[in-house]
Amino acid sequence: MVMKKNTLTTMIVTCAVLLVIAMNGKPARADLSEERPGPFGILRLPARFESHRATFRQNISRTDETVVAEMEGEGCLRHMWLTIKSIRTQPVHGLYLTLRIYFDGNKQPYVEMPVAPFFGIHHGHEARHLDSPYIQVTDRSGFNCYFPMPYRKGMRITLQNDGPIELMVWFQADYHHYTSGPLKEDLRFQAAYRRVNPNEAYGAPHHLGHGVGRGLIIGTTIGWRVFDRRDAWYHCGGDLALLDGNSANARVLSGIGGEDFFGTAWGQDVFSNRSIGTPYYDVVKKPAQGEPHIVFAAYRFFDRDPIAFSESFNYDFGTLANDVSSVLYWYQAGGPARISTLPTLEDRLAGIKVPEGKYDLPRPQGLTWQLCGPFSCESKDEFERSEFPERGIDLTKTEPADFGQYAEAVRRKFREPMLTRWHSDIRSTFNFVDVTPSFRSGLKTNAGFPADVSAYAATTLHSDTHRSIQIRIGHDDWFKLWINGEEVYSGEELNGFQTWQMPINLKEGDNQILAKVANRDNANFRAWVFLFNPL
């Protein structure tokens, strides 16, 4: 018997469908994740869902929040798109609109920031092509978000016009509604916006965000208006992630330089791909007085390599004294992780001065330390050498630096010797102490980050009684610790940051803690960080 090809194909398909029904009792439906990592390898989402859409098209005047989408029950936002009628001729209108996203009935938003920075376009710049798994922007000012945002008790998205004129907005949200069982995923999408102009002194890091709890960092987009001509914007150390400072698994991730973090080399070009990109990079050859000579934005998404934290994270990015606008994206269990309040419309605009900390909420901090250095430390023998802080804590004392070519280069540049001196009131964050910003020099390129050096850190720890406690310390390179003048620890770790737990004895009253920490050019590339955690 001869059977036509299309008839045979139809029979095969029919049999396959009947087999699926027989095995499951119902036709197969879309399966994105059932009990295994979900989209982009980070979420557990139910296999069965219903697709829904919310749309909005309306003029928004300067009013209170306008709800543009509201979902009930259990579900997950899968796509969000919006545009503004006037934004192609007035790109600054992307800073006029404030986007807020709420989950699970919380009154505080998990996202609260101007629309354009959320989509990687900073400082009121015109929209440029950006193509990533999470954020996509068209040259015609179409803003798309593909971050999956799960919720158990509903979700609400609002827009607020903070500008002086009415704005015509188009908006669309595509989401899944779950009906087959409880949503097991407890991670919620978070995003933090910060704007500082100018960033603090040379080499001070720009804070991207922090959180307490369990979660995953997914990426960042940062915009610069570059004024500081002392060095290239990317010669300030890249990113620094301090992870899980209250745990035995405390870790330090340190980047080499800014362009290295964004996956390029020797500067930036305009490009856009899955995980890294620079949607715009405008160079002004002869800027007017008070104007930047470079304006650009760049992004990196950890869609294949998310940064996991189990109880806390602090994320910074090295920069010069420039105008910096940033958004950090992450997932975290629990409620909204607010790090700042929303800047006024004026403080979002290019050219407006916004001092460090103006809108920041209090950051979790620990002991306050006094730092002294740098000292030469090119060998273990030099590290063992006793320097003047071991003979007493005198915050007024200084000495000429003695550490070879680095100190000599500083002397030639500034026509005076570089000094080892005390830096007061350095606050630890999640028990980490970042030593580098206190000793960053004016030397260009990565030479500005001291290597083959050491420094001392001093603090006090109060105890109501004589007692023994456990402490956790963490370091790379060489490290020493004294309690009330008695050396209690000396260790070496040349393959990256490691932690140790040990007992110490405290006397009644204030106890003097003194640490000596070396910095070499090794696995953590000049990350000069140590951990001290009284348990």
- Fold agreement (45-348, 368-534): yes
Q: How do strand 307-309 and strand 239-243 relate by DSSP bridges?
A: unpaired
According to DSSP, the residues that pair with 67 across neighbouring strands are 158
- pLDDT averaged over the chain? 89
Which residue, among 459, 446, 450, has the nearest Cα to 420 in the 3D structure? 450
pLDDT of residue 91: 97
Q: How many helices, marked H, and strands, marked E, lie in the chain?
A: 7, 31
CB neighbourhood size of 273 (10 A)? 9
Q: How far apart are CA 314 and CA 303, in angstroms?
A: 19
pLDDT of residue 401: 78
Rounded to 5 degrees, what are φ and ψ at 260?
-65, -40
Mean pLDDT, residues 468-477 taken together: 96
Reading the block at residue 434, the tokens are 């970042």
Which residue, among 309, 252, 321, 307, has the nearest Cα to 528 in the 3D structure? 252
Between 36-50, 149-163, 255-269, 521-535, the lowest mean confidence (pLDDT) is in 36-50
pLDDT of residue 181: 74
| Non-local CB neighbours of 27 within 8 Å, separated by 6+ positions | 17, 20, 21
- Name the residue with higher pLDDT: 18 or 226: 226
Between 215-224, 231-240, 349-358, the lowest mean confidence (pLDDT) is in 231-240
Residue type present at position 341: T
Q: Give the single-character DSSP code of 305.
A: S
CB 396 within 8 A of CB 460: no
- The answer regarding whether domain 45-348 maps to CATH 3.30.465.10 reads no
Confidence of residue 28 (pLDDT cuts 50, 70, 90): very low
CB neighbourhood size of 300 (10 A)? 18
Rounded to 5 degrees, what are φ and ψ at 521?
-90, 85
pLDDT of residue 64: 82
CB neighbourhood size of 224 (10 A)? 28
Rounded to 5 degrees, what are φ and ψ at 24?
-115, -10
Cα torsion 369, 374, 379, 383: sign: negative
| Non-local CB neighbours of 118 within 8 Å, separated by 6+ positions | 99, 111, 145, 191, 193, 327
Mean pLDDT, residues 383-408 taken together: 85
| Non-local CB neighbours of 449 within 8 Å, separated by 6+ positions | 237, 436, 440, 526, 528
**Using H for helix, E for strand and C for coil, what is the string for 354-375?**
ECCCCCECCCCCCCEEEEEEEE
Per DSSP, the residues of 385-444 read SPPGGGG---TT--EE---HHHHHHHHHHHTS--EEEEEEEEEPBTTEEE-HHHH--S-S
Distances from the Cα of 64 to the Cαs of 59, 80, 162, in angstroms? 13, 21, 9
Judge whether residue 172 has pLDDT over 80: yes
Per DSSP, the residues of 439-474 read H--S-SGGGGS--SEEEEEEEEEEESSSEEEEEEEE
Mean pLDDT, residues 125-147 taken together: 95
Q: How far apart are CA 355 and CA 361, in angstroms?
A: 14
Q: How many residues does the structure list for the chain?
A: 535
Between 122-131, 184-193, 412-421, the lowest mean confidence (pLDDT) is in 412-421
Could you read off the pLDDT of 81-114 as tens digits, one per residue?
A: 999 999 999 999 999 999 999 999 999 999 999 9
Q: How far apart are CA 458 and CA 532, in angstroms?
A: 11
pLDDT of residue 15: 45
Judge whether residue 203 has pLDDT over 80: no
According to DSSP, the residues that pair with 423 across neighbouring strands are 371
Reading the block at residue 223, the tokens are 């915009």
Could you read off the pLDDT of 247-299 as tens digits, one per residue?
A: 999 999 999 889 999 999 988 999 999 899 999 999 999 999 889 999 999 99
- Name the residue with higher pLDDT: 464 or 10: 464
Q: How far apart are CA 44 and CA 33, in angstroms?
A: 6
Judge whether residue 12 has pLDDT over 50: no
Reading the block at residue 187, the tokens are 């991670």
pLDDT of residue 514: 98
Judge whether residue 65 has pLDDT over 60: yes
pTM metric for this prediction = 0.90
According to DSSP, the residues that pair with 81 across neighbouring strands are 144, 172
pLDDT of residue 179: 86
- Name the residue with higher pLDDT: 445 or 426: 426
- Name the residue with higher pLDDT: 365 or 255: 255
Residue type present at position 110: Y
Q: How far apart are CA 48 and CA 181, in angstroms?
A: 9
Mean pLDDT, residues 338-352 taken together: 95
Domain residue ranges in the chain: 45-348, 368-534
Which residue, among 388, 395, 524, 373, has the nearest Cα to 440 in the 3D structure? 373
Mean pLDDT, residues 194-218 taken together: 90
pLDDT of residue 40: 56
Q: Give the single-character DSSP code of 524.
A: T
Rounded to 5 degrees, what are φ and ψ at 74?
-100, 135
Reading the block at residue 171, the tokens are 């908006």
Confidence of residue 22 (pLDDT cuts 50, 70, 90): very low
Rounded to 5 degrees, what are φ and ψ at 197?
-150, 110
Start-to-end C-alpha separation, the chain: 82
CB neighbourhood size of 155 (10 A)? 27
Q: How far apart are CA 415 and CA 376, in angstroms?
A: 20
| Non-local CB neighbours of 531 within 8 Å, separated by 6+ positions | 245, 250, 431, 432, 433, 472, 473, 474, 475, 499
The class that CATH gives domain 368-534 is: mainly beta
pLDDT of residue 503: 96
Mean pLDDT, residues 10-28 taken together: 42
- Name the residue with higher pLDDT: 329 or 7: 329
3-state secondary structure (DSSP) of residue 535: coil
pLDDT of residue 3: 41
pLDDT of residue 439: 85
According to DSSP, the residues that pair with 493 across neighbouring strands are 477
Most confident of 32-46, 325-339, 444-458: 325-339
